[in-house]
Amino acid sequence: MGFSKLSYAVWLLACLPEGVVSTVNPRSPPMIDLKAATKRSDTLRRSDQIRTTPFVDLLYTDGENTDSEKSVFFSRVQAQSSKQVLMLEDIEDQLNHLECTGSGIELGFREDSVFADAEKVLSRLEGGYVIASHAGCTDEGSRSVFLVDDVTTSEDTNTINLATTKTQWKKAFNRFNIEYGHSQEHHELRRHQMLRRQEATTQVATTSTATSTVITSTSTSTFLSHQTLIPSGNASHVTQTSVALNLYYEAGNTTFSLPPGFAMTLPNPHFIIGCKHCKTTGNLNLTQGGWELDWPDMEDIVEMDSVADVFKMGFVQLALTNFSTYIELMATPAESGSLQIPLFTAPTAGFRIPELGKAGIMFEPALTFNWALSGGVQMSYGFNLTLPSAIATLNFTDLESSTVTGLENYTLEAIPFQANVSDVNLQLHVALRPRIELAFGLFDDDLLAEAGTYLDLPVASVNITQLASSQHDANCESIGDSPSPDQADFSRNFANLTHIAGSVDIGVGADMRLQAQLPVVRDPSFATSWSIASMPATTLPTACLVYQSSGAPAGAAFTPAATKFAAMKEEKEEAAAKSGAAGGLLGGESGSGVSSGVGAVLSLIVVHVFWGYAC
């Protein structure tokens, strides 16, 4: 039953025009540029010993939070090398000075004992690596890795000179664990000044707004299906503090544009579809996630079977919150045809880790439908829906364990079906796949990956048919050979009943696509998908209507047959009580043998919109 509710939510999202989703400030690219950061607790726990290690643990955030009530978006990068690595951040409180030049890094130590300890350790660092976030070594907010070519020391000045060459992260490290999410722990951005432990307790808290240079992509790959999924642009103007899409949109009396390249078969060229009134609200947030990668050492590995071998673990969690949508569509359809259209793509949001990579999320529904129509040419049938919360958790390396929860907790109200004529027969079949996707590129896009969840509606079927009222009651149910007098009068006034019935097949799945620019990989591309759930056809709510051609305040309109039948029966009883004699049923179609009498037809206030069930 929950999946039938899901079908409504997904179907309604698909009924929006191209570009319906807008950010709060559409002029600002929704990209967060993360900066090198440290946790206050890590700074206070620095050791007095000078140590190197093959394992490093790095933090990047979108800002500072000296107040525990404020949350920051962070990314934690853990990397492992086959060589020893010196983190300059870990020893900076032992230094008098740290100077980066074009040829190397000079370290000046404050105490003789510390220098002696450092000399023993760093003299063995040749061929290893140094990570620096200091002035002259790298841009503020970034971290760079350097290969140590030579080590020289001076006991007279307590200095150690490291001859270095800047290198790439993918060359220095062969295992990466990258996670991201939100944290309320105390974080401070790295600035081009050394942070000392003894200064940490007296340092004045400051706030900072991250700035960035222009981010560009070097990839020319066409493997990924969405080339704009990982955003680029100047992140210095971004004001948001989380990776989120604002799904607010509102439009009225607009017509959908049909971009080039649609797979469309329309025997009648006079086809118009658009929004009479469409509105959406809500947010789509990237809440947490992570990847674990084994990057091959080109010198040690001769060949790998597949790029999938690079991935050891990966997951992402996306949250849709406070979602609501109101849909009224207008259309003049052809008598029959088919149409395939990507209805809209939300502006991509994402984040960047300097010198390592970038990631982005997007929301895009695509719709395919075909129909066969006879009778009316203008009609409506829509919904007003709210969805408090839905969470998708995607496991890249174990797609079977991916989950989607919360989609069943919706509230739904139907906009009444209307048409401009009474005799309408319509068969509609809808196939829909909205996608929520995450993509990331690492190491100048040498590694590209895209994963997402899709909500499948292989067939959503709606049948609008005409039934003879002489054989069916006001609920569109068959009656016997001897109808009641009230039913006979009703049949004389309304020859046809309009019956609406529908059903959907639904499925939820996940997929992943990978591509790597690696000479040691035999198959540089990889793709897989998995069905998380598949449900049998579910019946949608039905309706039984009659067409009232006169008497309604809004003019000709459909109304529920049971409501009209009850109103006419009540009018007949009132007339009989006043006159003392049986009167004919009132209202409905003129010229159908209605007996004279005084009565009032049911007053309806109807929003007149056009065909909308098929979007």
At 559-600, the pLDDT tens digits run 889 999 998 898 888 888 887 654 444 444 443 333 333 332
Lowest-pLDDT range of 159-173, 196-210, 251-265, 382-396? 196-210
> Could you tell me which of 393, 62, 365, 358 has the C-alpha nearest to residue 228?
358
Amino acid at 495: A
Quick one: pLDDT at residue 584? 47
Q: Are 298 and 187 in the same domain?
A: no
Residue with tokens 């969405």: 226
Q: Which two tokens stand for residue 284?
A: 């789509």
Cα dihedral across residues 84, 180, 357, 32: positive or negative: negative
**Model confidence pLDDT, tens digit, residues 386-396:** 778 878 787 77
**Token pair listed for 576:** 């009989």
3-state secondary structure of 246: strand
Mean model confidence pLDDT for the chain: 69
| pLDDT band, very low/low/confident/very high, at 207 (cuts 50, 70, 90) | very low
Query: Does residue 22 sit in the same domain as residue 95?
Result: no
Please report, rounded to a whole number, the percentage of residues in the chain having pLDDT higher than 90. Answer: 13
Mean pLDDT computed over 361-374: 64
Same domain, yes or no, for 117 and 261? no
Reply yes or no on whether the pLDDT at 229 is more than 50: no
Highest-pLDDT range among 16-30, 70-84, 122-136, 586-600: 122-136
CA dist 48 and 124 (Å) reads 19
The sign of the dihedral angle between the CA atoms of 251, 256, 257, 262 is positive
Q: Give the end of a domain, one of 512, 545, 578.
A: 545
pLDDT tens track for 131-144: 999 888 888 889 99
The whole-angstrom separation of Cα 318 and Cα 243 is 10
* Residue from 38, 50, 49 nearest 193 by CA: 38
pLDDT score at 181: 80
CA dihedral 322, 64, 66, 245 (to 10 degrees): 0
Q: What is the CA radius of gyration of the chain?
A: 33
Selection from 332, 327, 421 nearest residue 382 by Cα? 327
Range of the domain at 533: 2-31+212-545
HSE-up (13 A, CA, CB side) for residue 464: 25
Can you read off the two tokens belonging to residue 209? 């707004």
Residues 172 and 311 reside in one and the same domain: no
In a domain, 552, yes or no: no
State residue 413's pLDDT score. 67
Residues 6 or more apart whose CB falls under 8 angstroms from that of 531 comprise: 507, 508, 509
pLDDT over 50 (residue 614): no
CA torsion sign for 50, 51, 52, 57 is negative
106 or 190: which carries more pLDDT confidence?
A: 106
* Number of C-beta neighbours around residue 396 at 10 A: 24
pLDDT digits (tens, 9 = 90+) for 428-481: 666 556 666 777 777 777 777 777 676 664 556 778 888 998 899 999 999 877
The SS3 call for residue 52 is coil
Q: At what angle do helices 485-493 and 561-579 cross, to 10 degrees?
A: 120
Is there a domain that residue 218 lies in? yes
Per-residue model confidence as pLDDT tens digits over 233-289: 333 333 344 466 777 777 788 776 655 555 445 555 566 666 777 777 888 777 777
CA–chain centroid gap for 321, Å, is: 11
For residue 500, give Cα distances in angstroms to 466, 476, 540, 542: 9, 10, 10, 5
Q: How far apart are CA 153 and CA 157, in angstroms?
A: 9
Q: What is the pLDDT of residues 375-387, one digit of tens each?
A: 555 666 666 777 7
Domain for residue 89, yes or no?
Answer: yes
Pair (173, 257) in one structural domain: no
The answer to whether position 606 is within a domain reads: no
The two tokens of residue 147 are 């290969």
The C-alpha atoms of residue 540 and residue 426 are separated, in whole angstroms, by: 16
Are 22 and 40 in a shared domain? Answer: no
Q: Which of 138, 167, 200 is the last residue of a domain?
A: 200
Hey, what's the torsion of the CAs at 602, 608, 610, 611, to 10 degrees? -30
Does residue 83 sit in helix, strand or coil?
strand
Local structure of residue 418 (DSSP, 8 states) = E
Select the more confidently predicted residue: 228 or 565: 565
CA distance 435 to 558: 36
593 in a structural domain: no
Share of the chain above pLDDT 70, in %: 53
Q: How many CA atoms lie within 13 A of 167 on its CB side?
A: 18
Q: Position of tokens 């006419």? A: 568
What is residue 238's predicted lDDT score, i.e. its pLDDT? 34
Co-location of 399 and 518 in the same domain: yes
Average pLDDT over residues 14-30: 34
CA atoms within a 13 Å half-sphere pointing along the CA-CB vector of 562 = 7
By the 8 A CB rule, do 378 and 558 touch? no
Q: Is 515 in contact with 531 (CB distance < 8 Å)?
A: no
> Residue 137 corresponds to which amino acid?
C
pLDDT at 106 > cutoff 80: yes
Pull the structure tokens for residue 539: 């019946």
Is residue 493 predicted with pLDDT exceeding 80?
A: yes
Q: Calculate mean pLDDT across residues 335-351.
A: 64
Residue 345 pLDDT greater than 70, yes or no: no
Tell me, yes or no, whether 350 lies in a domain.
yes
Are 154 and 276 in the same domain?
no
Of the candidates 150, 167, 200, which is a domain's last residue?
A: 200
Q: What's the number of domains the chain is made of? A: 2
Q: Is residue 241 part of a domain?
A: yes
Closest CA to 152 of 81, 103, 114, 85: 103
Q: How much is the pTM?
A: 0.58
Q: Is the domain of 39 the same as that of 23?
A: no
The whole-number average pLDDT for the span 541-567 is 79
Question: Among 593, 544, 581, which Cα is nearest to 564's?
Answer: 544
Does residue 233 sit in the same domain as residue 181? no
Domain shared by 163 and 310, yes or no? no
Report the SS3 class of residue 289.
strand
Taking residue 290's Cβ as centre, other Cβ atoms within 10 Å add up to 18
The verdict on 216 and 255 lying in the same domain is yes
Contact between 13 and 414 (Cβ < 8 Å): no
Least confident of 286-295, 476-485, 500-509, 570-579: 500-509
Phi-psi region of 12 (alpha: psi -120 to 50; beta: other; left: phi over 0): alpha
Give the torsion through C-alpha atoms of 490, 493, 496, 497, to 10 deg.
-50
Tokens 């990314």 label which residue?
75
- As a whole number of angstroms, the distance between CA 252 and CA 250 comes to 7
- Bridge partner residues of 279 (DSSP): 250, 326
When pLDDT is cut at 50, 70 and 90, the band that residue 303 belongs to is: low
In a domain, 57, yes or no: yes
The stretch 393-404 carries a mean pLDDT of 76
Residue 115 pLDDT exceeds 90: yes
Phi, psi of 88 (to 5 degrees): -65, -30
